[in-house]
Amino acid sequence: MLPQDPSGDLLRQVWGFDGFRPGQQEIVEAVAQGRDVLAIMPTGGGKSLCFQLPALMRDGVTVVISPLIALMRDQVRALREAGVAAGALTSGNTDEETDAVFQALSRAELKLLYMAPERLASGGTLSLLRRAGVTAIAVDEAHCVSQWGHDFRPDYLRIGDLKRALGVPLAAFTATADVETRAEIVSRLFDGKEPVTFLRGFDRPNLRLAFQPKNSPRKQVLDFVAARRGQSGIIYCASRARTETLAQALTQAGHAAVAYHAGLEAETRRAVEVRFQREDGLIVVATIAFGMGIDKPDIRWVLHADLPKTIEGYYQEIGRAGRDGDPADTLTLYGPDDIRLRRTQIDEGLAEPARKAADHARLNALLGLAEATGCRRRKLLAYFGEDLAEDCGNCDLCIAPPKLFDATQAVRKALSAILRTGEWFGATHLIDILTGNTTEKVRERGHDQLPTFGVGRDHSRAQWQAIFRQMMGRDLCRPDPERHGALHLTEAAHPVLRGEESVTLRHDTTASRPATVLRTQ
Ligand code: ADP
Ligand code: ZN
């Protein structure tokens, strides 16, 4: 700490905050000292302060590159209200606003200049920034520089040139923590020279974490929402169509709910954003298009009606709840169809093979979390490089520890059923074989003659469904999109088959489709 704690004084005087949030002060000091910094902080962790405050401690102007015009305008407004000389150059400006910014710059009055990345493409920008006496660059949402990420912004690639041309320190901020994206940020924004890196404060202890297998998805959603009537919340769905049908179902059940996705008119979307921000108790049923730039502190819950794409996406999305620090609930529903959908999306995408493998791995991390057998928060934070000393006490598995069983034998039976049928069949047929159910399909294929036929009678059908789901969750087998979801073994299956590894699973008998399937038992 500095002797007089100038950063703490500014924090109180300008922002009126009592103290720093975990991790903020170290970042503020490194940025104020003019070091190159990469800060990975979760959404809602308070990253804007980490470049705004140092800008006031330094001589000259700090340029802030941000991809979201609405967010820039909000921040500039808030800074001005706090008496800080800030301005923005974006396509949303009126001519008067732009003139005022230019004048303030020429009189060396600005401390913070916000700028959309597109500005960097215009020839005059560099000389403007040179004349203005820019002494630091801050980059918000720095993962937008990653060509692999879904938020890629080509103009972000110009930021590295800007840093080189101005010869000033750069501080990059992002909530995306995976190693690959981090490496890409370092190579593109810092010329590959490692910046001082902070990875802090990923724990959001006020968020309750919970996962449930989908058994009756609509009812699960309605029950969850009914228990939280009047609270603002977000429901994330995997498709546009599903946001519409779910919003309708919720409205019919008497809730204030609206759909939101990228297929809606920009005006409609904006209207939903404004309504959500202002109204209490509104439910937005959305695709992941909703959320970036939403700054509503009292979102009380986030429900994933479908499995998210990656563990990073999951954490970013649930992180929108409870930013005020009060308790907030999250629940993620998932089932075999989700796993199939997400695998298919990766396999059928246009990415290079290495990228696809990485995407499968990130999906695996999320599935591992879904099928966890102990504290979920520990597992989640471990993925982001943070150690939790004790179990959290605020996740579904801490609150109601699941019954576990040694599933090694069962899993080996299931894996050999997959192998003996040539990796040509889905879970339903495989379970028929294991439980000795002589369906027409079983008879036609002669599968009642297999050595595995009927070897799994010690488990119910519902239990087998839970076992198959957990096997997919651990990536022991994968559905093949080109064979209608037929399961095939992965590398991870072989040590189990050879008896070199054992498998512990949760003893939950929740079936994936109980109504029809349970009746046949
Ligand atoms: P993000 O990391 O998502 O950009 P913000 O910078 O918008 O988050 O901060 C999230 C919220 O936390 C804001 O409402 C902000 O005012 C508040 N905040 C940030 N730092 C502090 C602090 N030290 N004390 C209290 N509130 C803070
Ligand atoms: Zn826990």
User: 227 C-alpha to center of ligand 2: Å?
Assistant: 22
pLDDT for the residue numbered 513? 38
Backbone phi, psi, residue 203, to 5°: -75, 130
- Ligand 1 contact via 45 beta carbon (within 6 Å): yes
Mutate to test the pocket of ligand 1, among 5, 17, 200 (most ligand atoms within 8 A of CB): 17
CB atoms within 10 A of CB 107: 8
pLDDT for the residue numbered 510? 52
Ligand 1 atom nearest residue 44's Cα: 3
Is residue 2 pLDDT above 50, yes or no? no
pLDDT digits (tens, 9 = 90+) for 379-393: 998 887 777 889 999
Q: Whose CA is nearest to atom 13 of ligand 1?
A: 46
pLDDT for the residue numbered 176? 78
Which ligand ends up closest to the CA of 401? 2
- Ligand 1 contact via 291 beta carbon (within 6 Å): no
- Ligand 1 contact via 20 beta carbon (within 6 Å): yes
User: Could you give the CA distance from residue 101 to residue 118 in angstroms, rounded to a whole number?
Assistant: 17
Ligand 1 atom nearest residue 297's Cα: 14
User: 51 C-alpha to center of ligand 1: Å?
Assistant: 12
Is residue 1 pLDDT above 70, yes or no? no
348-360 residues labelled b (16+ CB within 10 A) or e (exposed)? eeeeeeeeeebbb
Ligand 1 atom nearest residue 11's Cα: 23
Is residue 4 pLDDT above 70, yes or no? no
pLDDT digits (tens, 9 = 90+) for 193-237: 999 999 876 788 999 999 999 989 999 999 999 999 999 999 999
Mutate to test the pocket of ligand 1, among 11, 12, 15, 143 (most ligand atoms within 8 A of CB): 15
pLDDT for the residue numbered 421? 96
> Could you tell me which residue, 468 or 179, shows the higher pLDDT?
468
User: 210 C-alpha to center of ligand 2: Å?
Assistant: 9
0.80 exceeded by pTM: no
pLDDT-derived band at 518, boundaries 50, 70, 90: very low
Ligand 1 atom nearest residue 20's Cα: 23
pLDDT for the residue numbered 294? 82
4-32 residues labelled b (16+ CB within 10 A) or e (exposed)? eeebbebbeebbeeeebbebbbbbbbbbb
- Ligand 1 contact via 319 beta carbon (within 6 Å): no
Asked if 209 and 366 count as a contact pair (C-beta separation under 8 A), the reply is: no
Ligand 1 atom nearest residue 175's Cα: 2
Backbone phi, psi, residue 47, to 5°: -80, -30
Mutate to test the pocket of ligand 1, among 18, 47, 49 (most ligand atoms within 8 A of CB): 49
| Per-residue DSSP letter, 12 | I
pLDDT for the residue numbered 516? 31
pLDDT for the residue numbered 19? 85
